[in-house]
Structure 1
Amino acid sequence: MDRSPPPFFKQGPSANVRLAFFSLLAIALLIVDARFETMSKLRQGIATVLYPVQRTLLVPRELAGTAGGYFVEIDRLRAENAEMRRIEATNARTLLQAEQLASENAQLRQLLGMRERTPVRTTVAEVLYDARDAFSRTLVVDRGQQHGVQAGQPVIDAHGVIGQVTRAHPLSSEVTLVTDRNSTVPVEVRRTGARTLAWGGSLPGTIELRFLPVVTDIREGDELVTSGLDGLFPPGLPVGRVSSVAPGSTSAFLSVRATPAARVERTKLLLILLAEPPAQAPPAPEPKDSSARRARRG
């Protein structure tokens, strides 16, 4: 059966002939161009015409790459910023710790110097916390009965008298400061030798000298030291310095205020003097004749 198209649809050579023709033509053009470079100008012209089209088609890709690089750079900068903040915080913490250690080291050296100058056996204590309230000035330290601490023992720092142990527990103790209103320390004026008692002041952070006659030779700047008359505080320990002298509420006495020599409100390390508190004297025996008289009366 003849399957060729009707003569009406036959137009030009067949497909195979056209394929062979164009293949030979392409090969011929390749050979001619390779030998004589006749197509270079045509290629340059076509490339020049197509260059804006190529650049236009590359714009979305470049924009996508730029946007991706921007966000990657933002993430990198954020990570570097967070790392820098972490390093800064670490360095600041390390610096603060170094400064604190240097301060404690200086205080400890000063305490050791005071310890060598004190003839009484001592122990170094660290302040755990401040137990002050509206009516008292008290510190809690990390030394107690297990370390030989007893109620009544004096407490000093590198600059002077801090206070006195008022309550001793097995592993900690309470220290009442010299600025507490119920605290008393026997003192003397170093310049004149006048003896009196130093009380905790009515103003925070001060001490007072009460019941001093108006004829007492005392002036601003006089240094107050322990007199040692109580048998507890060694004599000569700095207690404070007179800050003001004024007439009292009555004409017979002076109103004298002093600033503590010790760093009462800012100290971290203390020195407890492990002295034996003076024993209470036993009551005197009653005379026999008086007991006999009471017996007769009975």
Structure 2
Amino acid sequence: MERSPPPFFKQGPSANARLLFFSLFAITLLIVDSRLNALGRLREGIATVLYPVQRALLVPRDLADLGTEYLADVNRLRAENAELRRLEAANANALLQTEQLATENQQLRQLLAMRERTAIRSTVAEVLYDTRDAFSRKLVLDKGQQHGVIAGQPVIDASGVAGQITRVYPLSSEVTLVTDRGSTIPVEIRRTGERSVAFGGSQTGTIELRYLRTNADVREGDVLVTSGLDGLFPPGLPVGTVSAVETASSAFVQVRVETAARVERTRLLLILLAEPQALPAPPPEPAAESRRRRRRD
């Protein structure tokens, strides 16, 4: 007795029959399409209908590629920006150093020209810093006792007298500028030859002639030079130019002088290494002077 599946489970032709049928059908379509090109229009229509779907399916991929490319460009631009900033800083630093070297070279040339005009042995010193005292005008130089510097030696720049060495250390020294209120220097007016003493001025960058008589022949624009009477500063070094002549009292006139030295704008100075015996002897200390008087008495 043969058993057959109930009607509910009947599935039609067998799988092998269906595979054979569809294979023959596909081969037939391939032959017809290759010989008669009958399915070309159908393929075009299906491609046209499916094109929007294809584009929609490609949107996530395009967005991912665009985002990846954007992030890569941002990172690349950041790296290039950082490199450009580094190069800009390096170029700016090199430019500043070049300008500074050019300025120092020019100052050295001017100092060498000034050294040739003076017969005294000299040495070039660099300004390290200003002193902290706001009521004095002093600079610290990079030359000291080991370089032959002693207290009292004059200091000049390429334009004229800058000051005088007042303190000396083994590797550095301190110069008091002519504009310091406690500074004095014997001068003479180049035009007339009249001698006087210049004091540090009350205004920054100036010196003064305080005790000239009212009939003294001095006028604005006169050039002051060292007189050489102190035996320290060589005669004829430029000191400054008269900028104003004021009547201080009935007996004297006050002359304001702009200094020739440009100590505010230079880093290189020239120390005149005068011999120790040529320098004036320092004043005796009060205690030592009193002891000498007691011994004499």
Residue 142 of structure 1 is matched in structure 2 by 142
Residue 274 of structure 1 is matched in structure 2 by 273
Where 1:123 maps in the other structure, the secondary structure is strand
Residue 224 of structure 2 is matched in structure 1 by 224
**Greater Cα offset, 19-28 or 197-206:** 19-28
Quote the Cα distance in structure 2 between the aligned partners of 1:2 and 1:112.
131
The count of residues paired between Structure 1 and Structure 2 equals 284
Alpha-carbon distance change, 11 to 145 in structure 1, aligned in 2, over 3 angstroms: closer
Quote the Cα distance in structure 2 between the aligned partners of 1:8 and 1:279.
137
Residue 164 of structure 2 is matched in structure 1 by 164
**Greater Cα offset, 60-69 or 119-128:** 60-69
Mind listing any 5+ residue stretches in structure 2 that lack a counterpart?
285-295
Quote the Cα distance in structure 1 between the aligned partners of 2:265 and 2:132.
13
Quote the Cα distance in structure 1 between the aligned partners of 2:279 and 2:234.
13
Alpha-carbon distance change, 22 to 152 in structure 1, aligned in 2, over 3 angstroms: same
- 1:48-88 Cα offsets, whole Å, 9 max, x none, are 11111111111222122222222222222222222222211
Give the Å deviation of 1:234: 0.3
- The answer (yes or no) to whether the contact 1:132–1:139 under 8 Å persists in 2 is no
- Give the share of equivalent positions with the same residue, in percent: 71
Give the Å deviation of 1:280: 3.1
Give the Å deviation of 1:223: 0.3
Quote the Cα distance in structure 1 between the aligned partners of 2:142 and 2:2.
120
- 1:201-227 Cα offsets, whole Å, 9 max, x none, are 011111000111111110000000000
Quote the Cα distance in structure 1 between the aligned partners of 2:123 and 2:266.
16
Letter in 2 for 1:268: R
Quote the Cα distance in structure 1 between the aligned partners of 2:127 and 2:173.
10
- 1:118-143 Cα offsets, whole Å, 9 max, x none, are 00000110111111522211100011
Residue 78 of structure 1 is matched in structure 2 by 78
Give the Å deviation of 1:267: 1.6
Residue 47 of structure 1 is matched in structure 2 by 47
Residue 18 of structure 1 is matched in structure 2 by 18
- 1:13-36 Cα offsets, whole Å, 9 max, x none, are 222211111111112211222222
Residue 96 of structure 1 is matched in structure 2 by 96
**Greater Cα offset, 104-113 or 36-45:** 36-45
Counterparts of 1:121-132 in structure 2 under 5 Å?
121-132=121-132
Residue 37 of structure 1 is matched in structure 2 by 37
Quote the Cα distance in structure 1 between the aligned partners of 2:80 and 2:8.
80
Alpha-carbon distance change, 194 to 3 in structure 1, aligned in 2, over 3 angstroms: farther
**Greater Cα offset, 156-165 or 34-43:** 34-43
Give the Å deviation of 1:195: 0.5
- The answer (yes or no) to whether the contact 1:246–1:254 under 8 Å persists in 2 is yes
Mind listing any 5+ residue stretches in structure 1 that lack a counterpart?
284-294
Where 1:20 maps in the other structure, the secondary structure is helix
Quote the Cα distance in structure 2 between the aligned partners of 1:247 and 1:137.
27
Alpha-carbon distance change, 2 to 173 in structure 1, aligned in 2, over 3 angstroms: farther
Alpha-carbon distance change, 123 to 2 in structure 1, aligned in 2, over 3 angstroms: farther
Quote the Cα distance in structure 1 between the aligned partners of 2:124 and 2:165.
13
Quote the Cα distance in structure 2 between the aligned partners of 1:236 and 1:35.
118
Alpha-carbon distance change, 11 to 130 in structure 1, aligned in 2, over 3 angstroms: closer
Give the Å deviation of 1:12: 3.1
- When normalised by structure 2's length, the TM-score is 0.90
- When normalised by structure 1's length, the TM-score is 0.90
- The answer (yes or no) to whether the contact 1:167–1:174 under 8 Å persists in 2 is yes
Alpha-carbon distance change, 157 to 35 in structure 1, aligned in 2, over 3 angstroms: same
Letter in 1 for 2:270: L
Quote the Cα distance in structure 2 between the aligned partners of 1:45 and 1:70.
37
